Amino acid sequence: MPLHRGGSYFWCMLTWNDITAIAENGNPAPERRVTRTDEEWREILTPQQFDVTRRAATERPFSSEMCSRFEPGIYACVCCGERLFDADTKYESHSGWPSFTQPIRENAVAYHMDRSHGMVRVEATCNSCGAHLGHVFPDGPKPSGLRYCMNALSLQRVE
């Protein structure tokens, strides 16, 4: 049953323990699966979007005005259009990337342990198409304590 919070609906409030358990034990099934070849992705994405979403690159911090915009709406995956975050959960983290406290549904985002670059982090991907979105950290605001640090190039705001 969905929970109502500030005009938005969440399936549950995920915590850091939930995120790490999902990353270690497996993600819930997505609402739908979207599969395309690299050629097909290149046809619909800009080169920068392709690098970030399909090659797990990271955009430069503070390179998008999306960080400082807080209009109501939904943020969807730029690749497949899957709805990922509600603007009600967006906040200013001062990290240089758009940040959210919760996904729109518990199965909208997939989690993967990322042990690259000498760190242990949790990578966030679109659960429908596998697009790299960014990482989740346990240093966000209460009550969840989560910071979904997303690449603006992986998101599109929809009404």
Interatomic CA distance for residues 28 and 50, integer angstroms: 25
Distance CA 18, CA 33 (A): 23
Whether 131 contacts 53, CB under 8 Å: yes
- Positions marked catalytic: 149
CA 138, CA 157: separation in Å to the nearest integer? 25
